[in-house]
Amino acid sequence: MFLIDLIMDIIAFFCIYAIITLSLNFQQGYTGIFNLGLYFPIIVGAIITAYLPGRLAMIIYGLDPKLDFSANNALVLSILRTKLSSDPLTSILLLTLTLATVALVCYFIGFLSSYPALKLPADYLALFMLCAGESLRVIGMQTDWLAGGVMGITIVNPFWWLGGYSYYGIASFTIISTILIALLYHRLCESPLGRLLKSIRENELTAESVGKDVNSVKRKTLAFSFMILGLAGVLHAFLMGAVVVGGYTRVDFSFWPWLMMIIGGTGNNIGVFLGTFSLVIMRRIMIVGKHYFWFLPFNVVWFEPILLAIMLMVTLVFRPEGILPERSPKIKDYLRKVLKLES
Amino acid sequence: MVPLPILLTAIVYSFILSLLAMGFTLQYITLSVPNLAYATIAFASTYLTLTFSLMNLSPYVAMPFGFLLGGAISFILYKFVAFLRNRGTSIVGLMMATIVFDLIIYAGMNIYADYLAYVFKLYAGSFSLSEFDFKIFSLPAVLFVSGLTSVGLVAFFTLMLVKTKFGVAMRAVMENYSLASVHGINTERILSIAWFFVGGIAGLSGSLYPIWFAMDPWVGARMFISIFAACVIGGLRSIYGSLLGGFIIAFSEVVVTYFLSLYFPWIWAYRAVTSMVIAAFALVEMPSGIAGLIEKLRRG
């Protein structure tokens, strides 16, 4: 059972990071939008997940309005757990509403934040996004009623009706969502839109000169990626069963995905999957292995950023294009396509 | 009327922030690479100040050592970034290289904080050294020291840029790297020294910080928002604009938030976010910042 739990845990976390790195690859690898603030929409997703489903459930079941979901968290959750354990329909409704709300809000925020962001050169756009993420993290940590502030908050599980298998329920849902999102990104990247994005990445001026509205495309790309990243935030929150906004750091939710993408191969979705898988496995091994270093006068967890830094350094120096570099289409493929069209 | 502690906080903070903003802009101009590790480099030296205090020495003794520490880290970072740039690494790769240093320093600070907790039973995850400060005319010494350091460094820097051969060469490198190189200027040497100097400024600012403010390993990440906002207000590529931007952001974060907190008490907790709101507004309404505004006024 322990082995199954461990495998499920690794797969679920791989899925979360796969969604994040695929979104990053869509922005940076395909469109050339340099975004270091990936954790901004992830935090939005997590905060809405902490706020919305619990309160909605309270309204649906007519709980005492004097009870506050955040302040009386343990009591409210124990009541909701009893109710939701025998009510799969409401549970699924809560899950669907949360996902829909996060998708809408994140798309809107992505669209809105693109206005100041796209006025900036690439490097300052990255800084702007990074600072926006850090600002939201500060807001989340300071606002108790939103997501429990510094201490965090325990949230409802939309799969409580599965009894002892509720974790498997949310993990399976995460896996299915990841497969769907990966397929969606694959279709987008292989479509004419994917080629348009690449042309913008390579030379914005050329793309503009053939009548493409570069800013509009970039804005929609950013908004779409924000939406998917927000959904990753929802899935992560449900998987953890709690939201601690302070835990959504730039290292864990921006720098690690960047490393995963760079190691795997920027602009190549399969490479990104490979990079994500290898690093998730490595991080899980570190978490298990840290107990063997009990004798050190500091927490071994700090080796993680150092290891991340060393790996990033080695990759930048020795293999900047990643394990699986972006495939450039061969002349033969083009000829085949042209001949097919002519015939 | 602004209460004295609030005013003093605003003044000390503005001196520190404007120096950091100036340093960040200067590094950006020289290499066109925003140094994401800049704030973390600055706050690495705060742990040096803490160590000196633990040895019963005045925290001000740590200042020159903070300068050297900041300068040394910045110098090594420059060498790494320059090495990658010479290999044709993109801007994304170069910024990632600065993140490498950010992560190592951040982890190093936390390991040192854990070590202090383990050996001295001292909670170094969050601390302030204001009790080690002394008074001058009934006012905290850090007010005068930070003011003198800021004014002195800006005056020194201005004189160096205008009056010395090194300064002229540095301006040439900042204007056009390739052209300066063609004219026989040793660009690598100029940039190495510039990065050491600017890293040193960061180290100095960081060593002063815990004498007035509470410090923890996350301060760098939070303070980066304010540094970025100050640079945006200043006009992104203007050194003196960023200095002014530092003052505007510091006073907005402390004094303006104080006045707002009289009516909305909850707002005080969000003062770190104030700067980001101002930066976003400036980007939309005044993208070229104060430098652009001054330029526009000059042209009539």
User: Any chain B CB within 8 A of the CB of A337?
Assistant: no
**Secondary structure element (H or E) that encloses residue A242, with its range:** strand A242-243
Q: Which is more confidently placed, B86 or A102?
A: A102
Interchain pair A142, B101: CB under 8 A: no
Q: What's the CA gap between A312 and B93, in Å, rounded?
A: 10
Interchain pair B32, A255: CB under 8 A: no
**pLDDT of res. A341:** 66
Span A260-284, average pLDDT: 88
pLDDT at A113 over 70: yes
Interchain pair A306, B107: CB under 8 A: yes
DSSP-based three-state secondary structure for B299: coil
Q: What's the CA gap between A8 and A86, in Å, rounded?
A: 25
Query: How far is A314 from chain B, CA to nearest CA, in Å?
Result: 10
**Secondary structure element (H or E) that encloses residue B253, with its range:** none
Closest residue to B99, CB basis, from A120, A131, A312? A312
Can you give the residue ranges of every domain in chain B? 4-217
**pLDDT of res. A331:** 64
**pLDDT of res. A231:** 96
pLDDT confidence band for A233 (50 / 70 / 90): very high
pLDDT at A333 over 80: no
Query: How far is B109 from chain A, CA to nearest CA, in Å?
Result: 9
Amino acid identity of B252? S
pLDDT at A49 over 90: yes
**pLDDT of res. A150:** 86
DSSP-based three-state secondary structure for B135: strand
| Joined tokens for residue A324 | 């699986």
The whole-chain average pLDDT of chain A stands at 88
Query: How far is B144 from chain A, CA to nearest CA, in Å?
Result: 31
Interchain pair B91, A123: CB under 8 A: yes
Residues of A with Cβ-Cβ distance to B108 under 8 angstroms: 306
Q: What's the CA gap between B70 and A233, in Å, rounded?
A: 36
pLDDT confidence band for A337 (50 / 70 / 90): low
- Where chain B has pLDDT below 50, the residues are none
**Residue B99 buriedness (CB in 10 A; 0-12 / 13-18 / 19+):** buried
pLDDT, tens digit (0-9, with 9 covering 90-100), for A173-225? 999 999 999 999 999 998 888 889 988 888 888 888 888 888 899 999 999 99
Nearest CA in chain A to B274: A135
**pLDDT of res. A329:** 65
| Joined tokens for residue A287 | 């978490």
This prediction has a pTM of 0.86
| Joined tokens for residue B265 | 């008490």
Can you give the residue ranges of every domain in chain A? 2-248
Interchain pair A116, B272: CB under 8 A: no
**pLDDT of res. B30:** 81
| Joined tokens for residue A149 | 């502030």
Residues of A with Cβ-Cβ distance to B91 under 8 angstroms: 34, 122-123
**pLDDT of res. A342:** 67
Interchain pair A131, B96: CB under 8 A: no
CA atoms within 13 A on the CB side of A13: 18
pLDDT at A131 over 80: yes
